[in-house]
Amino acid sequence: MKNITITIFIILIVVILCLYFASFQVRETESALVTTFGKPKRVITEPGWYFKWPAPIQQVYKFDSRMRVYEANLGETTTKEAVPIIVNTYVVWRIAEPLQFFNANERGSVSEAERKLLSHISDTQNRIIGQHNFGEFVNSDSTKIKFEDIEREMRDDLNINQNIKGRYGVEVKTVGIKQLKISEDVSKDVFARMIADRDRKTEATKSEGEAEAISIKSDANSIKIEILAAATARAKAIQAEGDAQAAKSYKLLEADPPFAIFLQNIEAIKATLEKNSVIVLSADAYPFSLLREIPVLVPRDPNESK
């Protein structure tokens, strides 16, 4: 019994050891290359469990096939019309072909691959940017800006024209420009222009403000004048209506015009001397004449009046 246990145990250990030396896993994120005596034999891109001959005969090299970002340095280049610009390009790349990657880079070294990629990036960058005008990077007309197209062209140039996949087993997913700058000297010119621009706008704003304020005020005044004129016209109409209505009553005065005029004159005098008046009268004038002499009055015969 004891022997069986030990035997099973030993077999188990041997099996595990065999599996350890003669099989390997390829993770979902990896690809692998199996070499026999140093020569590439098998490329594995599907994840799973694989067998191989133990160590000295076959060896496995695994490559992380996920996307990595690599940034080139800030570099000066020129556009089609020879405007110097400074750009910083980055690429997002992955190992796509394990065999080519292994062959091109010493035992699949990532840093070596990046070094090689760098020269291609600057090459592509200079060439593609050299095919475009500066106005395709920056333009007051949005439709003329080709920024994203330029980035796409750079990616395609790396993948297709420079054939980095065939050469290094590397695929570029994205190329982007993460800094777009200008030289120090040009920046000074830009400041001068910005200041001139701003000064012009400041002046324009000042005069605009003045003009607008004036126009608002004059609008107000003309509205006011027009309303008041309309109000006056309306008032006149109302007065005229009143006069017309009053004229109807004057017809009744026709019964004795001179008397009516007399009454109106009396009223007029009363009204005009209503307030704050100083009256200067001759002593002969009524009623002060009574102070000077008594009128001669003769009583009438009561019958005579009848």
Partner 1 sequence: MTKQNREDNKDLQLQSPEKGADDKLDLGFQYLSNALRLSFIALKLIMIALVILFLASGFRTVGPDEEALVLRLGKIRGVGEERILGPGAHWVFPYPIDEIVKIPVEKKVNLAINSFWYYQTGQEIVSGTKRQVPPTQPLNPVRDGYCITRSEKQSAEIAGVDGSDYNIVHSKWQLTYQIVDSESFFRNVYVGDIKPGQDYFDVITRSINPLLKAVFDDAVVTAMVHYSIDEALSSQDRIPNHVKKLMQQKLAEQMNSGIEVVSVQLTDITWPRQVDLAFQAFITASNDKEERISKARTYTENTLNAAAGPVARELFAALHDETVREQEKDLLWSRAAGAAQATIARARAYATKVVEDAEADAEYLNKILPEYRQRPELVIQKIHRDAVVHVLEKADKKIMIQRTEGEGGREVWIRVGED
- 21/37 with CB nearer partner 1: 21
H or E segment and range at residue 101? helix 98-104
User: Least distance (Å) from partner 1 to the CB of residue 37?
Assistant: 25
What does the angle CA 107 – CA 110 – CA 114 come to, to the nearest 5 degrees? 125
Q: In what order do the strands lie in the sheet with 30-36?
A: 39-44, 30-36, 58-64
Residues between 210 and 229 with contacts to partner 1, criterion CB under 8 A? 210, 212-214, 216-217, 219-221, 223-224, 226-228
- 104/172 with CB nearer partner 1: 172
Could you say whether residue 184 binds partner 1 (CB under 8 A)? yes
- 37/221 with CB nearer partner 1: 221
Q: What letter represents residue 4's amino acid?
A: I
User: For residue 150, which of 167, 175, 169 has the smallest C-alpha distance?
Assistant: 175
- 55/229 with CB nearer partner 1: 229
User: Least distance (Å) from partner 1 to the CB of residue 35?
Assistant: 19
CA atoms within 13 A on the CB side of 73: 4
- 37/51 with CB nearer partner 1: 51
52: left (phi over 0), alpha (psi -120 to 50) or beta: beta
Contact residue for partner 1 among 39, 270, 300, 306 (CB under 8 A) = 270
Contact residue for partner 1 among 148, 160, 163, 166 (CB under 8 A) = 148
Could you say whether residue 139 binds partner 1 (CB under 8 A)? yes
User: Interacting stretch for partner 1, rule CB under 8 A, among 62-70, 114-122, 159-167, 295-303?
Assistant: 62-70
User: Least distance (Å) from partner 1 to the CB of residue 105?
Assistant: 16
Q: Which residues of 31-50 are buried (b: 16+ CB within 10 A; e: fewer)?
A: bbbbbeeeeeeeebeeeeeb
Contact residue for partner 1 among 56, 82, 107, 185 (CB under 8 A) = 185
Could you say whether residue 11 binds partner 1 (CB under 8 A)? no
Beta bridge partners of 78: 84
Number of shown-chain residues binding partner 1 (CB under 8 A): 127
Q: How far apart are CA 187 and CA 130, in angstroms?
A: 21
Cβ(279)–Cβ(286) below 8 Å: no
User: For residue 50, which of 28, 34, 38 has the smallest C-alpha distance?
Assistant: 34
Contact residue for partner 1 among 12, 74, 119, 130 (CB under 8 A) = 74
User: For residue 29, which of 75, 98, 92 has the smallest C-alpha distance?
Assistant: 98
User: Interacting stretch for partner 1, rule CB under 8 A, among 121-129, 160-168, 266-274, 294-302?
Assistant: 266-274
Residues between 77 and 96 with contacts to partner 1, criterion CB under 8 A? 86, 90, 92, 94
**Two tokens, residue 138:** 């920056």
Residues between 13 and 52 with contacts to partner 1, criterion CB under 8 A? 25-30, 47-49
Contact residue for partner 1 among 39, 107, 252, 297 (CB under 8 A) = 252
Q: Binding marks (x or -) toward partner 1, 98..117, rule CB under 8 A?
A: --------------------
User: For residue 74, which of 35, 42, 118 has the smallest C-alpha distance?
Assistant: 118
